Each structure stands twice: as C-alpha cells, then as structure tokens.
Amino acid sequence: MKRNLLTWMIIGWALCVSGQEMLTGLNSNALINKLYQQQKSKKSTQFIYYESIALPFIDDFSDYSGYPDTNLWIGRQAYVNEGFAYRPPTIGVVTLDALDDMGKVYDHASVMSFHADTLLSRPIRTDSLFSPLVRAIDLSDSIYFSFFYQPGGGIGHAWEGLGNAPEVKDSLILEFGYQTGNRSLLYYITDLMTIADTIIVGDTIISSCNTDLYIIANQNYYPGDVVEVPCDSVVGMEVIWEEVWSSGGMTLTEFESLYGTYCRQVMIPILDKKYLNCGFQFRFRNIASLEYELDAPTWASNVDNWNIDYVRLDRTRSQADTVIDDVAIVENPGSVLKNYTAMPWSHFNTNPAGFLKSSYDIKLTNLYNVTKNTTYEHQMLDGNGNQIGYYSGGSYNIDPFYRSGYQDYAPHAQPTISTISFPSVSNDSLLMTVNYIFKEAGSGDVNLKNDTATYLQYFYNYFAYDDGIPESGYIVTSSVSPYKTACALEFSLSHADSLRAVKMYFNRAYDDANNLSFTLTVWGDNAHGDGPGEVLYEQVVEQEYSSDIYGLQHFQLKDPVAVSGKFYIGYQTSNKRFLNVGFDQNNDASAHVFYRTSGNTWYNSFIVGSPIMRPVVGQAFKYTHIADDIAIPVEVELYPNPANHQLNIIAPAEHATMEIFTIHGQKIYSGPMQSQIDVSQYPSGFYILKLTDNHEVVAVKKFIVNR
C-alpha cells in the first residue's frame, strides 16, 4: 500500500532565500529479468491456477482499502484508498503509481519510461451464463467493459494538489487477455548462492538448490560473490494479451479542459469471439518515469498517479449505458475534531466542545438519471460498539449529479455534529467509531457498499494533524553549505505533559537514498508565540523504514521532556540528501508548519497539508515495536491472510492471552487464545496479533483484513 513524487520550488519572494521547502512524490526485479534471459528450465514442479468467476464483475473500491480484493483481483501492486482521487464517482479508488506492493520505488525505476504497477483481474467466465439458466454467451449478449479514470495530481497549484500528475511520456494502458488452454512459465522461485570459483561471462552456473536448473553468467564472478539462482519454476495458464485502450499522461486541469469532467468513464464493447473465453482477463498497467536531478536522489520517490474507479463488466449493456443506479458518499468526512485528527483523551476531556467540529461538509452524489429520495444519518460508537451519539438529517430528494452536482440540502450535506455522550475512562485512551450513512430511502439502491463511510476516531497517547496516508513527500532544501535545514510542527497542549516519543513517516526514495541520520529536535515557543524558540531536546537518530506499508517510525526519547502550552517537534539536518517526510495533502496543517534553510530565520509554510509527524505524550510506557513478526518460540500460522470474515489461528499456546492491535497501536481485542476470530466487522487494513503466555510475549504476527 503506497504512495508520492511531486517536485516543485517556491517562486517569487522565496527565490531570495538560500533554500526552500519542496513537495516530492512519495523502488519485477531487474536482476532476475537479466539473469534469466539465457536460462533453460528442465523442471517445473509448481502450478498456479485461479478459478474463474462468473459475470457480472463490479468493483467501486468503496468498502475496503489497501490491497485489491482477492475475490476479484490477482496481485497487490495497486493501492485501494480514499485519499488520492479528486471528486471520484464514489468513495474509494484504486491507484496505480511507481511503488511496488511493499511501498518501495521499483528497483528498475528510472527517469526513462518503465513499466510500473499492474492491476490484474481474476479469470472471468465470459463464455457461459450460470443463472437463471446455464447457457453459452455469444456476441448478441452485448457485453461491455466500463471504468472511470483520472490522472493524479489534483486541481490547482502544486502545493494544493493530491499526489503527482503523469507526464506526456507516461501512460495508462488497458489490455484484454484470453486463455489458450496451454501452460506457460510465470516466474522462478530463487535463492542466493555464494560463488566458490572464478566464473567468466558465458559460463554455466548450476543452481545450488536445484541441479536441474542453471543460468548463463552475464558477467564475471569471483569467489565470495553472491548470485541469484533459480530453485523452481512456477507455471500457470497461458494468456494472450492485447492492448484495447490507453491514455497519455496529463494534468487533471488539462484532463478536465479536454473532457469536461474530473473523472471520465470509458465504455468498451466486447466484439471479438476470442474474448468469450472461460478464462477472460483484463489488466491495467501504467508506464511511469521518475522525476529528479541526479544529485538529488531523495526526490526520486513515488510519481505518476492514475486513479481508477467503478470497474464494470456485464452483459445486456450498450454504449449509452453510462448511468449507474446508485446514490453514494464521495469522500470520507473524517475526524470529528476541529484541529487534529487524533489527540490524547486527557487533553480533549478538558474542553470537549472546544475541540469538536460544529458541522461537516459532505459530498453526496446520485449517479442515476432520475431524482432519488435519500436519507442521511451518522452514528458514534464507543470501543464496545455502544452508540454514544446519533444524528439524522431525515429524507430529501437528490437530483442526478450530471444535472445538479452534489447534494446541497444542508441537513445532509452540512450536518451538525451530534451530541456525544462520552464514556468515563480512567486511562488516556478512547476509540470511537463514526459511521456516516447516506442511502436511497427504501430498498431501491443496488449498491449499498458505497453508502457508508467509517472513520476511527482515536483519543490515544499522541497528537496528529494527518490521517497517516502520505499523498506526497515534504522536503526542506538548502543551497548553502553545510546545507543546514530544519522542519518544525507546532502543537498546543491543554495541560502540562511529558513528551515521551516522536512518530514520523518517511517516504521510500529510489535506491534507499532517504536512508540517513538526522537530529530529532523538540523546541519550545519563541518569545512572540509564533514559531520555534529554544531547543528543549536533541537526539541524533538513524532513519529506518517500518516494514508496514504506511507504518510510522517510533523514536523513543532517552529522557522525557516536560512540555506545556505550545511546543514543536521536527528535525534538523546538515546533509545535501535532504530528508523526505511523508506529507498528507488531505488535512491542512500549514499554519502550524515551519521550516528553516540556512541561518536562524523560520518561515511559515504555505503548502496545503501536513508532514506526518506526531508527538507521543503522557505517562511512562514501555515501547514494544509490534509492526514486525517477532522471532520467538511459538510458531503461529494465520489463514486466510488477507481475511475478510474469519481468521483462523494455529499456535501451540492454548493458555495464552490474545490481543489484536490496529497499525496505530490501538488495542481492539483482548481475551483468551482462540482458534478462530470473527473479523467481519473490522475495517479493511493491517492488524497485529500478539500472544502472551505467563506474562511473556510469545508471538507477534501481522494480518490483513480485506473486505
């Protein structure tokens, strides 16, 4: 799960200073491809087969996030999210970009065009119907494939956008494929082998893990060198692919000027009998290109976003079948808090009314061609599922979007925050789930998935302006040696507290160029109350990526720092490879962001968004990094993983205590060890399972809920 490279410079008055703040975009394996060009395979022991699914195929990416739904898609390169698209048809899109399935810039990426993400469907039975009667499909059944798409980058100035726009040389490609009935090589399972003797170009290298397989050396190797060798071949059904549609890159402003819409629908008829196949597939691919200067590799991060929505493949359609019988939420309304997305309960509880928003601004749409009668409500639930707040906007008509735009009836589109009966809590934590529900009155709506948006409101031990998802990267640069730069994010406390740690997210840059040390810094307020002042704490730390795709790095302070009123967290560097910090463009904290280039002058940012940096405050705690599987005695197996309804747990720890955490560290379950657990009510995303036996942690495993 993933995300951006948007590189730009401040112009005008900023050219007078010696540095600037910048936004960047947020790394197939080239070595394997090269090594196997001359390889001969004598053995094939593994066969992958994906069972075909029946028509219709529909996914609007509205009820889950992260990896694409495995019931419909194969692979994990594309990223399902609610944050990258500008005014999509319904809430949620799938985004293709320059990052692989682990959020790393592709290894083969370059400033030249390269193949990046692929969004591949499961095989589909376009040859037969199975309900209400079993029969063959022919061309008279009028099968159409349709989807919405838009280039990334958003609308307006670079500092106001969402992600990064693809350039003219970049592209989005759609291909149709059909199975031939034959088997073909998909890829090789490989291992690393240490070379014992000198090998020259053209020599045969026998695999150490399978003597039936070998490669031809394409370079000289010497004793001690390591080479990747094949251990087994993986075979699947052969598919013939043909390009049926493509779009060149452009900005969203150019896109809207050309097509008169921010999200264009494409209609493609199935006119060739070869596509009436028991294993028909389609795939989207994007061609990308990195954007950076050779002496600034930390800029080389995620780029060239394409957003895709509402993919449909079905029969009895026509070229005019462009309207969808559907009313939907377009964007997640988000946090109930006025200034933060998360904050500690002890600070919120000093003045709940002062921290809550007074109302929401919600985008609601009707994609059909007739007026619909709809209802809106939102509900707040505590950590045990008890309702602690409720609002109803009643029923009201909404006209078709193509005619009147979004809903403008205030009780639906600008609802007030309901009165919330917050429970009494003795600790510093509270989790509240907010469900926003907009639907057609009665039972007429054919797609209920996009009628509900859910937001998890954390009152935990940290403050946050961001939602945890970076649409871009934030860099402060300097052109003056020794290239001293700094970034500071302001926070205000309701009472004096102790700063215990700082959480930050770092974007993956090409060739790990963003891996560098920096000075983690805490400042007090200056004498004028409008920027960083005295340094309260400094600590040189090493940047290190979390193994979770949007996992934040946790920097524990050696000693707690007493803070009160305003304080600032951030970093100082003196390295020309300037630090690339994740930047959330959907939540604007620019009034609280300060940067410094050379000298001692601080500037207030005007870039819309927030660097992903969070202060952790409160009582002392023992930090345990639970983002990774821990190598400890108990072997745990979780399946299916990803799970959508039930997670099965196999572990030789019958008397253990089991806990489940969100990726933010919020505990959402605690109880005795079970062999099965219902995850059907968990929002899609990453979770951590921890087993404790006799007060000792015996296993920690990651799993994904994907519904």
pLDDT of residue 535: 96
pLDDT at 291 over 50: yes
Task: Encode pLDDT of 88-125 as tens digits.
Answer: 999 999 999 998 887 788 888 888 899 999 999 999 99
pLDDT at 706 over 80: no
pLDDT over 90 percentage in the chain: 53
Tell me the residue type at 526.
N
Task: Encode pLDDT of 161-188 as tens digits.
Answer: 788 899 999 999 999 999 999 988 888 8
Task: Encode pLDDT of 393-423 as tens digits.
Answer: 999 999 999 999 999 999 999 999 888 998 8
Range 339-346 average pLDDT: 94
pLDDT of residue 664: 57
pLDDT of residue 634: 56
Task: Give Cα separations from 666 to 85, 220, 306, 626, 684 (angstroms).
Answer: 28, 52, 32, 11, 15
Task: Give Cα separations from 50 to 123, 179, 530, 699 (angstroms).
Answer: 7, 12, 59, 32
Range 30-43 average pLDDT: 36
Range with lowest mean pLDDT among 38-42, 46-50, 300-304, 695-699: 38-42
* Closest residue by Cα to residue 287 from 312, 271, 304: 304
pLDDT at 462 over 80: yes
Range 554-559 average pLDDT: 91
* Closest residue by Cα to residue 398 from 421, 376, 380: 376
Range 295-308 average pLDDT: 76
Q: Which domains does the chain have, with CATH numbers?
A: 24-29+47-179+241-314 (2.60.120.260), 182-237 (no CATH), 345-459 (2.60.40), 472-617 (2.60.120), 637-705 (2.60.40.10)
pLDDT at 660 over 90: no
Q: How many helices (H) and strands (E) does the chain have?
A: 6, 45
Q: How confident is the model at residue 436 (pLDDT cuts 50, 70, 90)?
A: very high
pLDDT of residue 624: 44
Range 26-44 average pLDDT: 36
* Closest residue by Cα to residue 327 from 360, 361, 363, 359: 363
Range 339-357 average pLDDT: 94
pLDDT at 548 over 70: no
pLDDT at 9 over 50: no
| Average confidence score pLDDT of the chain | 85
pLDDT of residue 158: 66
